[in-house]
Structure 1
Amino acid sequence: MALAYLAGGIVAGPVGLLWSVAAVLGVAVLAITQLGGPAFLGAAWVTRRLAGLERRRAGWVLGKAIEPPYVGLRGDTLRRRVTAAGTQPATWRDLAWLVLLFPLGLGLGIAAVVASAVSIGMLTAPLWAWAVPNPRAPFPVKPLMTTTGGRFSLVLLGLVLVPLAAWLIRLMARLEVTAARALLAPGEHRRLVEEAERLARTRARVVDAQAAELRRIERDLHDGAQARIVAAGMTLALAARKLRGAESPAAPDVDTARRQLDEALAELRRLVRGIHPPILTDRGLHAALAALAADSPMPVVIRGDPDLRFPAAVESAAYFVAAEGLANAAKHSGAGAGAIELCRTPAAVSIAVEDDGRGGADPAGSGLEGLRRRVEALDGTLTVDSPPGGPTRLRAEFPCAS
């Protein structure tokens, strides 16, 4: 297999060089036109196919093919796909190998073929040497080729040279395949991308688990503690009705207990909404935003498709971005009106909260900093634009593929 690998380099080397030169020149010429991007992607595709053949060919020596090093070309536009292909080191390492293969594969391939041909020729000298008489050949070629004893001496010499030729061929194959593995095998870039993807999946599972746990806590509080407080309040209301008009010293205490239960219930409801609003689970983000707008002391306009649903963690983070934006507008900016805009693209979800207040919001404030951490936990971005005099615009964007 080592000989077949080296012999294949005699053909693969010139093919790789010709394609590399043609691809570079073609892309360079078309780069000034609108065909530059498609030409680059097409050239990269063909280069990857040729490099894939080289990886499989290296498997003849290694025992298995070299693993591809590529990362998927992500992007919803041609420009982004071109950028993704161009920034991958594997794209240029493939091209470098096709260029290097010409001198390396051609030189080592010819050397291997010559060594094999000489060894086989010596072993079979009695079968063919008699047919090429050369009376003017120099010594010791003449006696070796033209006499029977010389021909069988060539056989003995071939038996000695065959192991040496085999060792040399294996050495040259290892040299070439080592160079191929250095350029064609996955490198640090692929390892880092895979590690980042693994960490992203792990974090997504943690975020989803946390969101599910918050929903469970909200449900337990809503269906358990809150229901029991409501029942206790009703019991106290009945007791207060029975004591009404009676001169009982317990009547004021019952009224006080009712007020305390009402306050506790209101506080518990605020806590539940702060953990995870029930309406967010039941009716979705748009309905939850509508409820926020209805509770706001200023008129708030909501723009966006009311039927859109998103992952639970994204909906929760977007809801709290809107809640913080409206709360800040009502408390600090003196705004008279606000707006919430919810947008969806093929790759992201964005929510923007705007008010007509006096501006000057501090992006490093504790509330906005907490929101930033919540958004960034989902690989999102939070931007605050609040010049003095207003308006203030709070915008969060979350990656969310369709």
Structure 2
Amino acid sequence: MKQRRLQQHAIAAWRGLAFMFLGIPAMLVGLWFLTVVSMITSFLGVLLFPSATMLLRTQLDAYRDRINRWTDTRIERPYLPEPDEQPGLNGFLKRFVALISDPATWRDYLWVVVDPVVAIFTAALPGLLVLYGLWGYLLAAFAGDVIGDYGGNDWYGYIHVTEGYGRDTGRVMSTLFLATVFVVVGYAIAPKMLNVYGRWGKSILGPTKKSQLALRVQHLTETRSEAVDASAAELRRIERDLHDGAQARLVAMGMSLGAIEHLLDRDPEKARLLLAETRASSAKALHELRDLVRGIHPPVLADRGIGDAVKALALDHPLKVEVSADLPGRPDAPVESAAYFAVSEILTNAAKHSGASRVWIDMRYEDGMLRITVTDDGRGGATLDGGTGLRGIERRIGTFDGVLALSSPVGGPTMVTLELPCALSSPKISPS
């Protein structure tokens, strides 16, 4: 544990230096952006501004990505939605106005101007302290003598490096001590300084209230459209199943009953056979109707909740599925239904594509989130764009502000995590 912690501190120190070096190309992009802005009163400046802005955003996306991966801070893209693409000069001018009036554009420029200084005193500071400590070790070992032999005059902290330095035991020990302090302090403060830098990044690179509202409206518009499309597709499926299944059998039963009515007096034996066939058809129609209802909203889900519904789903699955459910209550019915069918789709994908033999499902409620993790021991290599239906699941739970995370390295295992914000009510148990 201690060794792992030391390793994490060392990684944090070098990641901080990476942020400092990342500022070099960002500064060059910022200079180009400033050059374009200085020409904004000319047609050339207007023409170049969109491309310069997108180049700046691409560079800043690299910062957001690393801050999200390397610190405890999460930064969303803050840019306001751009207008729909339109041909001609009118469309170009609309895009230009949208980009130049977006506050995030100028916050990005503020970042590339100020960040080099901030990075040195936050993220990069631990790495610089470690490097300075290593330089102290070199001075104590041989570099001090070399500097003195060539008539150099240098300082290391409060220690004066002069000729004969290497033969001065007191100065060697003082240098070693001071260098060790720099290294220890650098490693000790690395994670905290990296997180301080992450908070600085969020304050500048994160969305403003205006952009948060605009992005929220855009998200709700997209999810509403997807929900309407999903509902329409579901209604078409139900209509098709009714038309091709139960409705066709009921029509056939009506025709059979008409024939039986005419055969009762003339051929009772044949009427009896038709009655038996009609009864079998009615049983099949009832079975199909029950399957259809189960596909719309399984009775066990309505009666027992998502925990027991997923356990029932696991019992009918061809793979060996283990379910662990720790839910103190029940989500709202729409959230519960979306989560149930998402898990059902993931299990179907596992059976069809993963080559797995076992699946583990873990359901918990933490921090206002319903978290469901589905893990299989298959071959891995799954992607959201691989035609496995995961993108459809992501859109379905996105209607409830849910998110889907996928981890599927080649060779496995595959882990799909669903998170849906919701409140839990008291458990609802149907009367027995």
Which range, TM-score by smaller chain?
A: 0.3 to 0.5
Q: TM-score w.r.t. structure 1 length?
A: 0.40
Q: Give the structure-2-normalised TM-score.
A: 0.38
